[in-house]
Structure 1
Amino acid sequence: MESVEKVIDERLQGKALVTQSREGNTKKLFIESYGCQMNMNDSEIVASILADQGFNTTQVLEEADLVLVNTCSIREKAETTVRNRLKKYNAVKKINKNMKVGVLGCMAERLKEKFLEEEKIVDLVVGPDAYRDLPNLLEEIEAGRDAVNVILSKDETYGDVSPVRLNSNGVSAFVSITRGCDNMCTFCVVPFTRGRERSRDPQSIIEEIRSMVTNNYKEITLLGQNVDSYLWFGGGLKKDFNKASEMAQATAVDFAQLLDMCATEFPKTRFRFSTSNPQDMSLDVIKVMAKHKNICKYTHLPVQSGSNRMLKAMNRQHTREEYMQLVDNIFKIIPEMALSQDMIVGFCGETEEDHQDTLNLMEYVKYDFGFMFAYSERPGTLAAKKMVDDVPEEVKKRRLEEVIALQQKHALFRTQQHLGKVEEVLIEGVSKKNPNEWKGRNTQNTVIVFPKEHYKLGDFVMVKVEDCTSATLRGTAVGYSDNN
């Protein structure tokens, strides 16, 4: 069932981050992240802010002065894991009396009172927009007071805090372009934990990418809860765009323009982006992807369900038919495009017929990859307040198995299309299974492994695809690509 678990293993969950030690820093920071790529990126920002406060990172929990866990509220599993980690930290805290423990991120926002007052398990609670306030909050703790800042900001985008790159392969990096989300999907807690949508100044994005390219990064992923709705008109919340001056509106930069700017400015750098939202996806973005060789032909296009009834209950702003039309148009413009899905089975009130609609939609699209979950109610969401989680667990489990089985079939169908082709691969690291093989990804985001020979990490290599499973291609390098 790897296609389910693959969902957030972009970089390892719960792995202590390590950054370059800074001369003269005497305090030790231990920081772990759970959840989405935004969280991984945020931890890098936090490490950068705290480096200025005298903290170097450590992987040894016992020696830490400050222990932070960056949390996720989206899935129950992540939340349970974080609770268990907090128990572990507190056991260590009994021995190391000076150690302070803090919770960052989405769960902090949701459970602030619980953590600080009821359970007294942490000293510090910091929401996703308050990282810049960390130095003040640390002073509060030093003075023996609890410190909380979960105020959601209208304009915090961390455009000028350069994230320290952590645990990176040195080849691919993430750049955050938007924060927050305006789509009130009933199953999701993000708008409440990360606030309303705001975009980052394109110049600060270009500058951050430039510094990465100078440091030899070869692939940049532009990140946002919903990248398609990126809109820069001088700052502020996206929903206030219509109140902006005519000049500001006329000179605004949308996601297609930003993508075009990035790809044009850095022609030797590969670009990816995540996550897209079907209701905000503009074909202008697809046309920009078609125009530039260095924008990868892969789009994560979460649908959540193939049933109009469920889409309405989830407050998704698109129908099944609109989604299918979008997919048709994408394939018309870029026939080789790879698409991936997020799917929730067993949402409130889902019938067998709704479930069949989902399977039919999957047959129609034949996604390359998928991230599939059985619905679990998240406190604080509209669904938790207004709807009944009425699909029995065993029914959810069976439906999830059917969705996963179909996705595995389609994934194999898609990887088989690559057999016999010669494809450009960026070498990202050593294959997990064989130290004598490199692994990388093609433009469609499919993993390819091949013998190392004389090639190096970060090289763009042309690989002939000779074999495949539903998740991985295997081949032999035939030479360098002209992108090196």
Structure 2
Amino acid sequence: MKYKVITWGCQMNVHDSEVISGMLEKMGYVPAEGIKDADILILNTCSVRETAEQKVYGRLGQLKPLKQNKPNMIIAITGCMIQQPHVVDFIKDKYPFVDIIFGIHNVSKLPQLIETVNYSNYTIVETIENETWLEEGLPYLREDNIKAWVTITYGCNNFCTYCIVPYVRGRERSRKPADIINEVKSLAEKGVKEINLLGQNVNSYGKDLLDERITFAQLLYELNKIKGIERIRFTTSHPKDLSNELIFAMRDLEKICEHIHLPIQAGSNKILKLMNRNYTREHYLELIQKLRDEIPEIAISTDIIVGFPGETEEDFLDTLDIVQKVQYDQAFMFMYSKRKGTPAAEMENQVEEEVKKDRLERLMKLQDSISAKKNEQMKEKLVEVLVEGYSKKDKGKLTGRTRTNKIVNFKGSESLIGQLVMVKIVEPHTFSLFGELYNFQGG
């Protein structure tokens, strides 16, 4: 029996798909080369933007003839989308050939759900979850033996007015530090060199752990001690919870990479308030200055939304201004997308699509020029690169990342994959760097 998992969305979803794959392999399934070869197909969905949901509906439409030709094939759908009742109802109505709809927190029930399909003639729905309970010890299948995602929190308490995440992933729950430490130790024993700690807001880790008082910075100190792990990253950080303690930990701990993803979302205080972000542009700029004072070589990336309800040209110019002031290494930029059930979807003064598109183009043009300039400054520099494998765009080159999260491509032998090497940057590009192998320091 063969399986296929298709994933949309963020790193959290990628990690969730690793757990789903682990569950299926424990049940005896093996990976299918393609969708048509699969006996069970699972779609792991995203609901952050409407375009992500439309991609899922498009894929479901494509699957209808396959299901007709292969009626015993099981099609299941999970992820953030199906935590919304109206989406579940829509799928049951428009795509009745879907066999299972299950919440990502119900993944431990997957064997029973698959078994139930064998004697039912209707769509099985299992989306009820106990938000206060986290199940540990589930198997997972990681395709990458060099880097690993490690979830430290689930859900979110921030309720930004544009965001659906707290409604679909629930309130914030922190994993126990011992469970996280044990998972990372296990990864180190398997040869993993880099871990990336995941949470909607990693900075608030531990605030809900009443029995074990621990901060995110204190967790980093514990993880930094684990032998075999060479690099530690984390995402995402909320500016309102970025403490001096965390900044000092990033400065002092040798395994913490010199990079932070710190979403600004907008440069206008008026828009930040409407978004319920709970910080001002002035406070954000103070944080940037603190980070650069303590960690001069730090790279900073961000998320920005344009066209939020009520955003005027003046508000947008504030966003361009803060991008110019901060000089981000990288930015993920999006047009505002209405999400049903969020306060922003009901706000007045929705911005016209053409205005959103124009602002996004202007923002991207500015950020691309900054990214290119930042990368140009890397020319002739020696950087440490963790080699991840062959480049997808050029199979003749190896690819990896610097500690500051910049992609570097260079020529080298397969034996370097998984190792730390020094590379001299010879040709900077806007989104990546090309270099030459300098020497080999790994073992």
TM-score by length of 2: 0.95
Once the two structures are TM-superposed, the CA of residue 433 in structure 1 deviates from its matched residue by 4.2
SS in 1 for 2:82: helix
Unaligned runs of 5+ in 1: 1-26, 233-237
Structure 2 partner of 1:122: 98
Runs ≥4 residues deviating over 3 A: 155-158, 432-436
Cα deviation for residue 446 of structure 1 reads 0.6
Give how far 1:190 is off.
0.4
In the alignment, what sits opposite 1:441?
401
TM-superposed CA distance for 1:132, in Å, is 1.3
DSSP 3-state at the match of 1:264 = coil
- CA positional deviation for 1:377: 0.7
- 3-state SS in 1 of match to 2:58: helix
Alpha-carbon distance between aligned partners in 1 of 2:321 and 2:40, rounded to the nearest angstrom: 50
Structure 2 counterpart of 1:452, from 375, 399, 412: 412
Mapped contact 1:440–1:449 kept (Cα < 8 A): yes
Partner in structure 2 of residue 178 of structure 1: 153
For residues 6-405 of structure 1, what are the structure 2 equivalents within 5 Å?
A: 27-110=1-84, 111-117=87-93, 119-144=95-120, 145-166=122-143, 168=144, 170-231=145-206, 238=208, 244=210, 248=211, 251-266=212-227, 268-384=229-345, 386-388=346-348, 390-405=350-365
Cα distance in 1 for residues equivalent to 2:37 and 2:408: 40
Distance 2:334 2:8 in 1: 17
Q: Aligned in 2, Cα 1:54/1:162: closer, same or farther, shift over 3 Å?
A: closer
Q: Write out per-residue CA displacement over residues 178-234 of structure 1, whole angstroms, 9 at most, x where no aligned residue.
A: 1111110111100011001101122221222222222222111111121111117xx
> Quick one: which amino acid aligns to residue 122 of structure 1?
V
**Number of paired residues?**
440
Q: What is the CA deviation profile of residues 274-325 of structure 1, one whole-angstrom value per residue up to 9, with x for unaligned ones?
A: 1111111222222111112221111110111000111111111111111111
Would you say 1:462 and 2:436 are equivalent positions? no
For the residues of structure 2 that align with 1:54 and 1:331, how far apart are their CA atoms? 51
Instruction: Indicate how the Cα distance of structure 1 residues 263 and 425 shifts in structure 2: closer, same or farther if over 3 A, else same.
Output: same
The structure 2 residue matched to 1:475, chosen from 429, 432, 435, is: 435
Q: Higher mean Cα deviation, 134-143 or 305-314?
A: 134-143
Q: Displacement, 1:117? A: 4.2
Maintained 8 Å contact 1:306/1:320: yes
Distance 2:43 2:349 in 1: 30
Alpha-carbon contact 2:26-2:139 (below 8 Å) kept: no
Q: Measure, in 2, the Cα distance between the counterparts of 1:454 and 1:154.
A: 44
**In the alignment, what sits opposite 1:6?**
none
Query: 1:153-176, CA deviations, whole angstroms, 9 ceiling, x for partnerless residues?
Result: 22343432132113x3x3211111
Are the counterparts in 1 of residues 189 and 228 from structure 2 also a CA contact under 8 Å?
Answer: no
Checking the alignment, whether the CA contact within 8 Å between 2:162 and 2:275 is kept in structure 1 is: yes
* Partner residue of 1:425 out of 381, 385, 390: 385
Instruction: Give the secondary-structure state (helix, strand or coil) at the position aligned to 1:344.
Output: strand
Q: Which moved more, 1:418-427 or 1:153-162?
A: 153-162
Pairwise CA distance, 1:51: 2.5
More deviation, 99-108/472-481:
472-481
Equivalent residues of 1:221, 1:273 under 8 A apart: yes
Shift of 1:354: 0.3
Partners of 2:139 and 2:178 in 1: how far apart?
Answer: 13
The 8 Å contact of residues 153 and 195 in structure 1, kept in 2 or not, is answered as no
Inter-CA distance 155–408: structure 2 relative to 1 (3 Å threshold): same
Contact 2:67 2:97 in 1 (8 A): no
Cα deviations by residue, 1:102-142 (Å, 9 ceiling, x for unpaired): 11011111211221245424221111211112223223322
Secondary structure, in 3 states, of the residue corresponding to 1:125?
strand
2:155 aligned partner, one-letter code:
G
SS in 2 for 1:394: helix
- Identity of matched residues, %: 40
Contact persistence 1:86–1:121 (CA under 8 A): no
Shifted more, 40-49 versus 387-396: the winner is 387-396
Is the 2:194–2:229 Cα contact (8 Å) retained in structure 1? no
* Contact 1:178–1:199 (CA under 8 A) maintained in structure 2: yes
